[in-house]
Structure 1
Amino acid sequence: MSIAYLFVPGSSEKKIAKSFESKADVVIIDLEDSVKIEEKVEARRLISTAVNNIPNHKKRTFLRVNAMNTPWIQEDISLAQQLKLDGIMIPKVEEASDIIWAQNQTELEIIPLIESARGILNLKDIILASTTTKRIAFGSVDYALDIGAEWTAEGEERKIAMNTLVLLSRYYNLEPPVDAVYPDIHDQESLQRDAKFGKQLGFFGKMVIHPKHIDWVNHVYQPSKEQIEWCQLVVQAYDDNNQDGAFQLDGKLIDLPIYMKAKRTLAMVNRQLVDH
């Protein structure tokens, strides 16, 4: 599964090219917030040039299109199709009808970006409406603004929304949701604390706005060598003992939930090896 989702402004051909050389699992070329209104058309041209100049980059690439209520979204989606990108991210999704309309325009994978109370409360319908969505993403800053809350590093104001995203993603067999960007570019400690908060709630992966954030986020989500070795021991011991109940391994209690968590961790590691 992907961990680091790097946003890159669609108005910079140079930054798009550099993003393909980064350690990001996914590059999200942005046509929304980072592109001025008067630069939208030119940005599409720059994106087309940048992507076509590096045809064999092998980086999973999405286009964050403009919101549903803008005059640019249809041409944004057309661009993603022409460039044969992996998918689109649609910001400010609030209704199932948003997804239904988008699916009528493209067969590309769609990542709905949920950024409002309305989006959270309609999340079940949004998920059920989509046949091409594998995961949901969360926009915490816009969400706090929408509900009239103060965005905090501690995250209390967004915890209910994040829990809802995790629960419904799990119930409807989507991949775990992708966590929001952290707005402070230079504060590694706070960004990693925020990433751990999302991971503890059940998110997997995080959107980032600077290449240096990639290693910071990977450090949170990627298991250490010691953790991988421990998981291998747990799985081997459980399988060898054919245990139906609990047993001890190196003084630690091992039961079915611990075994299943170890298997899940190893499966994730193996998937990352295949992806890379």
Structure 2
Amino acid sequence: MTDAAPRPRRSVLYMPGANERALEKAKTLPVDGLILDLEDAVAPDAKADARKRVAAAAASGEYGHREVTIRVNGPGTAWHDDDLRAAAEAGPDAVVVPKVDSAATVVAVERALEAAGAPDRTAIWAMVETPRAMLDAREVAAASERLTVLVMGTNDLAKELHAEHVPGRAPLLTGLSLALLAARETGRAVLDGVYNDVKDIEGFEAECVQGRQFGFDGKTLIHPAQVEPCNRLFAPSPEQVERSRRIIEAFETATREGRGVVTVDGRMIENLHVDEARRVLALAAAVEGR
């Protein structure tokens, strides 16, 4: 169930499931994806009402091009099974599952969704946020064809590591890299974790650039003010698009002329550069179509 074509997931915003105004506002935000949250953003005594509200929102078809997902409460909690049943009936684009640290958890979620009648199009997004999840990320990512995205839970990972939140995220780089390797090896997308200081736009933008340079497909967000810079920084730049076009044109011309050596801007071009150029242009076209 992996995506055949690149789907923009530059910005994926958490929205509190208990807040009806927030769910309504989400219909107007220029995000690529939404996570309608039943977990951290909802108090225990509000879980049941939030579940109904989020299921109705996900089933409404009123969110346009946005990828609509539901984050359920974690495995082993009192709300997990009911959340999965409600999500299966609502049929969102995906169900986001927190605290996934084994292939067995993915399989159990898949079976529960299918038993509850979830449509084939409803994917699983696995949140990886523990040391075990980092070490077993490849097995998690490969556990089901219904799993299409890994989501970094960097706050929980930092907590588990007893690590500090510092610019550059040095304490988390090993975990980020392991998850990226697992996602790319299994053909899954992977989303970077949240940035906690919503007033620090400069720091947020720096972390977006770092995530893009690492290879993340996009970033999870906690505030609408983070959407615009995230969309801009995770989209191919005009310079990248222009260079990609020139790489493909030069390669195709050389192929027609039977030349074995291709250069662009003084640099030798190989098949891998052409593949990356085509990926960039496909993503740019998908973003432009929003």
With normalisation by structure 1, the TM-score equals 0.92
Alignment of 1:250-265 (within 5 A): 251-256=265-270, 257-265=272-280
Whole-angstrom CA distance in 1 between matches of 2:70 and 2:187: 24
The answer for the alignment partner of 2:209 in structure 1 is 196
The CA deviation string for residues 198-221 of structure 1, in whole angstroms up to 9 with x for no partner, is: 111121100001112111111111
1:179 offset after TM fit, Å?
0.3
SS in structure 2 at match of 1:178:
strand
Q: Distance in 2 between matches of 1:148 and 1:189?
A: 26
Answer yes or no: is 1:14 the counterpart of 2:21.
yes
Deviation at 1:171, TM superposition (A): 1.3
1:99 equivalent among 106, 128, 149:
106
Partner of 2:182: 168
The one-letter code matched in structure 1 to 2:285 is N
Match in the other structure for 1:220: 233
**Alignment coverage as a number of residue pairs:** 271
Q: Structure 1 counterpart of 2:154, which letter?
A: S
User: How far apart, CA to CA, are the structure 2 residues paired with 1:198 and 1:110?
Assistant: 22
Partner of 1:211: 224
Structure 1 unpaired stretches of 5+: none
Indicate yes or no: 2:61 matched with 1:55.
Answer: yes
Does the residue aligned with 2:35 lie in a helix, a strand or coil? strand
Deviation for aligned residue 1:259: 3.0
Whether 1:117 and 2:117 are equivalent positions in the alignment is no
Identity %: 25
CA contact (8 A) 2:74 2:80 kept: yes
Pairing partner for 1:70 from 69, 72, 77: 77
Give the C-alpha shift of residue 46 in structure 1. 2.5
What's the RMSD between the two structures over aligned residues?
1.7
Deviation at 1:144, TM superposition (A): 0.9
- 1:79 counterpart SS class: helix
Cα offset, 1:96, TM superposition: 1.5
**Paired residue for 2:287, among 264, 272, 276?**
272
Query: Alignment partner of 1:219: what SS?
Result: helix
1:80-110 C-alpha deviation (Å, 9 max, x unpaired):
1222211100011112111111011114310
Give the distance between the partners of 1:180 and 1:227, measured in 2 at CA.
25
Is the Cα–Cα contact under 8 Å of residues 13 and 50 in structure 1 kept in the other structure?
no
| Conserved? CA contact 2:254–2:262, under 8 Å | no
Aligned to 1:43: 50
For structure 2, the 5+ residue unaligned runs are 1-6, 115-121
So what's the TM-score if we normalise by structure 2?
Answer: 0.88
Question: What letter matches 2:48 in structure 1?
Answer: V
- Measured after TM superposition, the shift of residue 51 of structure 1 is 4.5
CA shift in 2, pair 1:45/1:93, >3 Å: same
**What is the rounded CA distance, in whole Å, between the counterparts of 1:246 and 1:232 in structure 2?**
14
